[in-house]
Amino acid sequence: MVELYFMDARSKLIDIAAFMDRVERSGETGDYRYREFVKALAALDAPDRAEGVLNLLSDPSEGPLEQAGAGPAVGAYNKD
Amino acid sequence: MRYIEPHAHMVSRTMDDYQAMAMAGCRAICEPAFWAGFDRSSVAGFYDYFCQLTEHEPKRAARYHIAHYSWICINPKEAEDPQFAREVINIIPEFLKQENVLGVGEIGLNKNSKNEAAIFEEQVQLALDHNQLILIHTPHLEDKFKGTKLTIDMLRQFGDIDPGRVMIDHVEEHTIKMVLDAGFWGGITLYPESKCTPPRAVDMLERYGDSNRLWMNSACDWGVSDPLALPKAILELRKRGFDEATIDRFVYQNPVKFMQQSGIRFLPDA
């Protein structure tokens, strides 16, 4: 697996690092999507990481909404 | 290698895509009714779309010797106006009688609203009343986990539903287990950004492929998507050491097994 995927994962890891640098330089670290992104990194410290990241970026509420919200899904749920 | 594309929105694709898919080994395409990228303003607009799916698109596919089947419904994104949605539902039964229609789909939730849930349940009942297979869309991104849970909870309220006749699509690592544990089929969608990459899809097949209730699809449409995502996943399976017989089961036999429950002549020579 390491032989097959290391270079690809290395590239993506550097992309993530560069994305975080970019957001920091642009002063957008307060954006809730970025805050949730940073929180989701915690899932990398435990097994089932992909599932863990997806869960941390998901809406944790239960029950249907009264009305569909406007606009498309954005990839992170504002938990604050 | 032969394969079936069990979820593609070919009305949004060009003939070049049909040709490329045929050259890659695609034998059949199954096309669910979906959101066109804008809300339709009349029942007549849906009627025309259903005719496009059942009459026109099969002719385009046939030019490349690909069999074409469709699923009919009103999609969750246009279900927020229940009165309008019910008017559309009224015209669906005449299409369910056609010999190239697999069932009701892709129904489900989009933003997990009460109106979406109500129209979803009404279309599940429609499918049961007409003995149809069901194809279910699960919401995108942050809405998927909650939407998948709500979907399964609603399906469980139908005492007479056979989970082996229900496909819950767009599963990811956080939803696949709950879908399979409940006895449903699961679809893994290969999208460049918002769903699964081929390596992640193969990860899930390694862990859950023995269920024999999984397929992969491209769900290619008018957005950022890849009609050749499935052949790319086949290459990924080979890189990971899967033998040809197992790959054939994932990309051909499993879809055939599910679709042949529809009662129509789905790839009669398969």
What are the boundaries of each domain within chain A?
29-58
Mind giving me the DSSP string for B137-168?
E---GGGHHHHHHHHHHHHHT-TT--GGGEEE
Give mean pLDDT, residues B220-249. Answer: 97
Q: Two tokens at B122?
A: 């009404």
Q: Decide if B151 contacts B161 (C-beta within 8 A).
A: no
Is the pLDDT reported for residue B270 higher than 80?
no
Give tens-digit pLDDT for A4-60: 999 999 999 999 999 999 999 999 999 999 999 999 999 999 999 999 999 999 999
Q: Decide if B104 contacts B95 (C-beta within 8 A).
A: no
Q: Write the ipTM.
A: 0.94
pLDDT at res. B268: 84
Let me know if residue B270 belongs to a domain.
no
From B11's Cα to the closest Cα of chain A, the distance in A is 22
Let me know if residue B269 belongs to a domain.
no
% helix / strand / coil in chain A, to the nearest 5? Answer: 60, 0, 40
Probe site for chain A from B111, B120, B180 (most A CB atoms < 10 A): B111
pLDDT at res. B15: 98
Let me know if residue B34 belongs to a domain.
yes
Q: Are strands B214-217 and B67-72 parallel, antiparallel or unpaired?
A: unpaired
Nearest CA in chain A to B241: A1
CATH number of the domain where residue B241 is located = 3.20.20.140
Q: Strand, coil or helix: what is A70?
A: coil
Q: Give the phi and the psi of residue B136 in degrees, each rounded to 5.
A: -115, 130
Overall domain count for chain B: 1
* b/e B32-51 (16+ beta carbons within 10 angstroms → b): bbbbbeeebeeeeebbebbe
Q: How confident is the model at residue B86 (pLDDT cuts 50, 70, 90)?
A: very high
Q: In this structure, which long-range contacts are made by residues B51-55, counting pairs with CB atoms below 8 Å and at least 24 apart in sequence?
A: B52/B11, B53/B11, B54/B95, B54/B98, B54/B100, B54/B101
Give mean pLDDT, residues B40-48. Answer: 97
Contact with chain A for residue B100, Cβ under 8 A: no
Q: What is the pTM of this model?
A: 0.96
Q: How confident is the model at residue B259 (pLDDT cuts 50, 70, 90)?
A: very high
Q: Answer whether A59 sits within 8 Å of B146, measured CB to CB.
A: yes
Mind giving me the DSSP string for B233-263?
HHHHHHHTT--HHHHHIIIIIHHHHHHGGGS
- B115 to chain A: which residues are within 8 Å by CB? 67-68
Q: Strand, coil or helix: what is B2?
A: coil
Q: Which of A60, A62, A74 shows the shortest C-beta gap to B141? A: A74
Domain that holds residue B146: 3-262
Is the pLDDT reported for residue A80 higher than 90?
no
Is the pLDDT reported for residue B195 higher than 90?
no
Enumerate the β-bridge partners of residue B104: B72, B134
Give mean pLDDT, residues B54-76. Answer: 98
Is the pLDDT reported for residue B170 higher than 80?
yes
- A76 to chain B: which residues are within 8 Å by CB? 141-142
Is the pLDDT reported for residue B83 higher than 90?
yes
**B176: Cβ contacts below 8 Å, ≥ 6 apart:** B186, B188, B204, B208
Let me know if residue B29 belongs to a domain.
yes
Probe site for chain B from A12, A67, A78, A79 (most B CB atoms < 10 A): A67
Q: Does the bond joining B106 to the residue before it have cis omega, within 30 degrees of 0?
A: yes
Let me know if residue B128 belongs to a domain.
yes
Contact with chain A for residue B194, Cβ under 8 A: yes
Let me know if residue B78 belongs to a domain.
yes
Q: For chain B, what is the mean pLDDT?
A: 97
Let me know if residue B267 belongs to a domain.
no
